[in-house]
Amino acid sequence: MYVSMKDMLLHAHKNQYAVMAINCVNMEQAKAIIQSAEEERSAVIINISPRQMKAHGHGDILAPMIKGMAKKVSVPVAFNLDHGADLEDITNAMKFGFSSVMIDSSSYEFEENVRRTQLVASLAHGMGLSCEAELGHVGMAKDADNEKADLYTDPQQAKEFVERTKCDCLAVAIGTAHGSYPKGFVPKLDFERLKLLKETLDMPLVLHGGSGAGEENIKKAVACGINKINVCTDLFKHARIATAKTLEENPEIDYMDLCIAAQNAMKDFIKDYMRVIGSSGRYDFEKYQGPELD
Ligand SMILES: [Zn+2]
């Protein structure tokens, strides 16, 4: 079923688990993600960033395809604009049929972030879509932004932010960063801050930059209150490695079979991940309670 992120994340918040939000740029990835969710009886979120849309996975093509696939399965599937920055990208995503948008104004000062988020949240809610926002700033691993504590989310400021903007979930900065960490490096997450954020906000929280953070960190982040984990780099890496390995073993392989091999490798990775963050089996007996989107 095709839904916004709102009710699936509230379910995760109430039941203390997390849902994967996986970046997707083509049909093979969309199939791998949705089939994994159905087989694991898990909710799932499909993400695409404005950069990925411009480069390859155009939103006007992907949205109807993902919506069509989502409607054929019985678990909740959301399609979310990842890191929407300018209003044009966001309104385009709404027009294309995305079920959710993220407004990332985290590099602006507080009042401007509030103003921009308020606008997008009210637009989204008017259409029955959900809105994710970010406070504090999850930067880039290559710039070691994960270690810059002045970028971390402040719980009291976050409370004011959420009350004023009415965003449905909040991406928090607690020591992760986007992209690949240096080889062998495991980020140190500020779990005390995360616990305090959860206690203060009592709402679904989002972890960006989960790739390469390690299973132990991810599990602990879920236990401390994370309900949505963005996964991009790790999945793309798995797909690339599987493609290279398949080609090495069979250089003459048919192109379609190569695509299917990559798709199956992605499914293995996604299904394992769903088990780690506790979203597997959540819709075994329970039916999704929120509204479906047309
Ligand atoms: Zn992100």
Per-residue model confidence as pLDDT tens digits over 85-143? 999 999 999 999 999 999 999 999 999 999 999 999 999 999 999 999 999 999 999 99
| pTM for this model (two decimals) | 0.96
Residues assigned a catalytic role: 82
Nearest Cα neighbor of 159 from 137, 176, 135, 139 is 135
Residue 79 pLDDT more than 90?
Answer: yes
What CA–CA distances, in Å, run from 73 to 40, 41, 43, 66, 160? 12, 10, 11, 11, 38
CA 7 to each of CA 18, 203, 290, 292: distance values in angstroms, whole numbers, following the listed order: 13, 11, 6, 10
Tell me how far the alpha carbon of residue 42 lies from the centroid of ligand 1, in angstroms. Answer: 22
Domains of the chain, residue spans: 5-285
Residue 195, judged by CB atoms within 10 A of its CB (0-12, 13-18, 19+), counts as middle
Q: For residue 210, what pLDDT is reported?
A: 84
Of the pLDDT bands very low, low, confident and very high (cuts 50, 70, 90), residue 52 is very high
Nearest to 236 by CA among 93, 105, 57: 57
291 CA distance to ligand 1 middle (Å): 26
Cα of 131 vs centre of ligand 1, distance in Å, is: 14
The Cβ of residue 117 has, within 10 Å, a number of other Cβ atoms equal to 28
- Whole-angstrom distance, CA of residue 165 vs CA of residue 120: 9
CATH 3.30.70.260 matches 5-285: no
* Distance (Å) from CA 59 to ligand 1 centroid: 18
